[in-house]
Chains A and B, each alone.
Chain A
Amino acid sequence: MELDYLATILLSSLSSASILLIAAMGLAVVFGLMGVINLAHSEFLMIGAYAALTVTKAGVPYILSIPIAVMITMSIGAIVEMLIVRRLYGRLFDTMLATWGLSMFFMQLVVVIFGTSTVSVATIPQFNVSIGEYSLDGYRLLMILVAALMFLFVYLLMTKTVYGMKARASIQQPEMAQAIGIDSNRVNTLTFSIGCGLAGFAGAILLPLVPATPTMGLAFAVKSFLAVVVAGPVALTGTVLTTLGLGGGSSITASFLSSVIGEVFFFLITALLLWLYPCGISAKWRRKL
């Protein structure tokens, strides 16, 4: 097999994994720091995409629409946390069902507001890169960098800021955190809202790759959900590994064999990993983030 073909497959699989990581990051933060599985995560991603699309249509440059989308999803996230998630702490499966209901609600709400198909915009960046005889979507490759930066940002946010320390303290030593005066409610609201903001960011940044439709989140929902759970308690770093392994692996499989086998690969490896690591791959790690 030619070298350039191999190189493009590796690069594009890496970018597929990065896209999955971008989509799953917020979910991992919320799961890792709050122990909450947010099944409406993919709808926040969708809201982010719609927000970016709407402001871009209003004439704002695409690049500026991204922070706006993040702010919108963060605010919605904070409201959702205060109204719903806060009341269900410690009830993992109840939270899952409530957020499942929320995802149904958001999906239909977007249909009511925007209709089933929304006109796209022309100002979204498109460029391509050539490797040997093959050419690749440049924006897609850019996602590798975006994923890396996003991870770095979240990592620094959690380790170098006061908020991050508080957030980690509240999850690792909740009583101690309470005792030294950390308001865990506020920290949790912020954490959840950051998780939703990351989803909004994902929706906005992926807009040139995935069109904004009410059901766009579904495509990411299942896979990012699985990747985060397989990652286990050290959600953030663990998710980097699982998205690389599962997402990249299934993309490579799809390249050499067929798309359905790629999907089956994803699910089978997920099952296999769960079997080998019954509490997630990071269950025995020493690190905490």
Chain B
Amino acid sequence: MTVPNPTRLLASAGAALAAPLLALVTAVTVTVLVLVGSGSSPLDVLDTMVTYAQRPRSQALMVNSAVTYYFSAVAVAIGFRMNLFNIGVDGQYRLAALLAAAAAAEISLPPVLHVTVVLLIAMGVGASWAGLAALLKVYRGVSEVISTIMLNFIGTALIAYLLTPERLAVRTVGSNNIGTPTIPASGQVPGISLIPDSRLQVYGLAILAVAVGAGYWFLLSRTRFGFDLRAAGASEDAAKASGVRVSRMIIISMLLSGAVAGLVGMPQLLGAAHTFSLDFPAGLGFTGIAIALLGRNHPVGIAIGALLFGFLDNAATSLELRGVSRDIVLVTQGVIVLSVVVAYELVRRVRTRAEQRDVARRLAATTPAPPAPSTPQEVGA
């Protein structure tokens, strides 16, 4: 029994690969069917996408989108691990971006310090906005699903109130746009020339995304706190019984989720736009939910998911040029997420049954007197 059975090892490796493979095959099949159904040639689409992926510029765009999505998805994933559904990432990052932008334009500090302070402000705002939902849940029993959605709307209204010339915004002559004053150079984050031959640089805050991913992994799988959080997420009662203060975990994980959410807008704000205006990217919080699901809340899985979504989103334009609706990308993204969720669930069930059979067989082998020979195998049915 101590020597690992090679066939079983092989089987478990196969099972680990089964889910992603099943998801991939399903997603590709469905997308091809949709393409054929809508009168486009799948090969043509594939060709367009491959050509697009080879351009250095597209790669830089893809990475930049992925960096933003990564923050958003990690924010959602922190909630998921604690069994909390933070749908409010969208409102949290937009409010954080507005207030951080206004503060960044207002304060004058030496370069690195300036950016650090602005990032802390953004995280603070995001955490506070998410914290409201946590307090409502802990002290008033309000489901965070409801409260975070409602806080999105309140955040939108608050932003509209603040983003006016009387308050945080300035007008530019000749423009119908309106935004906060431009952030001075000391508060801007320079890009990194990560992709050779591309004039478009990768957001400097990509490094922060990597750090957040590493921190997320370390916190969850290498600390007592992470263990408590996962335990509370898996079973509240069991966690309570083992001495975990669940309400404290709810508040801390929502604050952490909100703090990471506050960073979602930062790469674009500090790295490119340098102002929060009417056309500041919106809706990224919802993309994060899909990517967290896709990445199975795992820091590496989320990174892969974010890159995939970043690629698909940017490739949509080149597809549109070839006469394929950009909606096809939305369909593909939806199919991928659904396939992954369904495939993992299927594989999980199959594995559970296999394990149950295995245990039953071993029990039968080790127990000297064979008790009721036919029934135990059916436990998993």
Are A and B part of the same complex?
A: no
